[in-house]
Amino acid sequence: MEERSAVVRSTQVIAVGNQKGGVGKTTNTCQIATALAEMGRLCLIIDLDMNAGATRHFGIPTKSFMGSFEMMLGEEEPEDVILRNGDADVELPENLHVIPARRDLEGLDQAIAKHSKFVVPHDTLIGPIRKLRGHYDYIFLDTPPNAPTPTIGAYKAADWFLLAAMPNRFAIEGLEEALTDIRDAQQHANPRLRLLGVVVAGVDSRTSIAKRLTEYVQNLFAVDDKTSAKFKTIIPHSTVLPQAQEVGKTIFQTVPRHHVTDQFRALAKEIEQRIQAAPKLAKEIEEGREVVHG
């Protein structure tokens, strides 16, 4: 932890979700975190999906490293499973660290039960996140589509919830379900959790369905006549994203001057502005956190 111990950062923990699969959760998490890292913010992505989408997105071999599974099991300290650029077989953007995932996450509940009768599986992210606070500007939790333990764990440990959607009925249904879960989590488990906003991605502006569904999300999450929780920046549908994923890189590495890359830069700024505009919450988080010096 040497490089991070000098500065105590006001860490914002952002869970990214939508109950439905294949709606852009992982893609947006990886690109937004890289955009923030490019702005000089120190970012960590914790991959909570047994399919290891974020891990693979960065070209990290999924069988080689311990990661979120061992951390949630309490077998490894979070700082011991962080991957950084320069680690063997790892090539990450500057300022971007990853706690990888692997298939073992599938058996997390049984593994926890074997360790102790008293450990609540949903609570196993809380301790590691507490230890990581103060070391990063942003920690992103990339949640899986159909695995309750890591997802509920993320709702319980995060400060913010970022919803991801594509303009299709299926993804929008998932948004409505996730919104219900955010309210439920706020009421029963994590009163600090707040909706950060909704990212709409994969938009083909030539189709009228994309336009209609984007408007629907705008209205569904309207705060007042002018403001909506939907971010103004829309991420277009573009082959540069799957192409970069295929080679285990972000578009900041493959096509840094592309207009979609610029849209992620704009989105990252919008996200940071929204967080900074909520100073009261930041203060609450600050007071509620235990600062751990590396």
Ligand X SMILES: Nc1ncnc2c1ncn2[C@@H]1O[C@H](COP(=O)(O)OP(=O)(O)OP(=O)(O)O)[C@@H](O)[C@H]1O
The residues that touch ligand X, with contacts defined as CB under 6 A, are: 21-27, 49, 53, 145, 201-202, 235, 237-238, 241-242, 245
- DSSP codes, 134-197: TT-SEEEEE--SS-HHHHHHHHHH-SEEEEEE-SSHHHHHHHHHHHHHHHHHHHHT-TT-EEEE
Residue 287: what are its φ and ψ, rounded to 5°?
Answer: -70, -30
Task: Rule CB under 5 A: choose which of 4, 25, 122, 249 binds Mg ion.
Answer: 25
28 binds Mg ion (CB under 5 A): no
Question: Quick one: what does residue 95 bind among Mg ion, ligand X, none, with the CB cut-off 5 to 8 Å set by partner type?
Answer: none
Phi/psi at 199 (5° precision): -95, 125
- Minimum distance from residue 213 beta carbon to ligand X (Å): 14
Q: Which stretch binds Mg ion (CB under 5 A): 5-13, 49-57, 59-67, 91-99?
A: 49-57
Asked if 53 is part of the footprint of Mg ion (rule: CB under 5 A), the reply reads yes
From the CB of 104, what's the least distance to ligand X, in Å? 17
* Residue 199 token pair: 């990212």
CB of 276 to Mg ion, least distance (A): 27
Smallest separation, CB 197 to ligand X (Å):
16
Nearer to ligand X, 26 or 68 (CB): 26
CB of 117 to ligand X, least distance (A): 31
What x/- string results for residues 127 through 146 when contact with Mg ion is judged by CB under 5 A? Answer: --------------------
Reading phi first (left if > 0) and then psi (alpha if -120 to 50, else beta), residue 197 is in left
Alpha-carbon distance of 177 to 187, in angstroms, equals 16
Sequence-ordered alpha helix ranges (H) in the chain: 2-5, 25-38, 53-57, 68-73, 108-115, 126-132, 148-157, 169-188, 208-220, 240-246, 251-254, 259-276, 279-288
- Structure token digits, residue 280: 């009261």
55 scored as a contact of Mg ion (CB under 5 A):
no
> What is the Cα gyration radius of the chain?
18
153 binds, among ligand X, Mg ion, none (CB under 5 to 8 A by kind): none
Place of tokens 């599974």: 69
Residue 36: which of Mg ion, ligand X, none does it interact with, CB under 5 to 8 A by kind?
Answer: none
Query: Which of 11, 12, 19, 26 touches Mg ion by CB under 5 A?
Result: 26
Shortest gap between Cβ of 9 and ligand X (angstroms)?
Answer: 27
Which residues, in sequence order, are bridge partners of residue 194?
A: 160
Length of the chain in terms of residues written = 294
Query: To the nearest whole angstrom, how small is the minimum distance from the Cβ of residue 145 to ligand X?
Result: 4
Instruction: Return the SS3 of 43.
Output: strand
Residue 38 contact among ligand X, Mg ion, none, beta carbon within 5 to 8 Å by kind? none
CA distance 105 to 94: 27
Is there binding between residue 150 and Mg ion (CB under 5 A)?
no
**From the list Mg ion, ligand X, none, which binds 235 (C-beta under 5 to 8 Å, kind-based)?**
ligand X
- Give which of Mg ion, ligand X, none residue 245 binds (C-beta under 5 to 8 Å, depending on kind): ligand X
Side chain identity at residue 60, one-letter code = I
Residue nearest Mg ion, Cβ-based: 26
Q: Which residues bind Mg ion (CB under 5 A)?
A: 25-26, 53
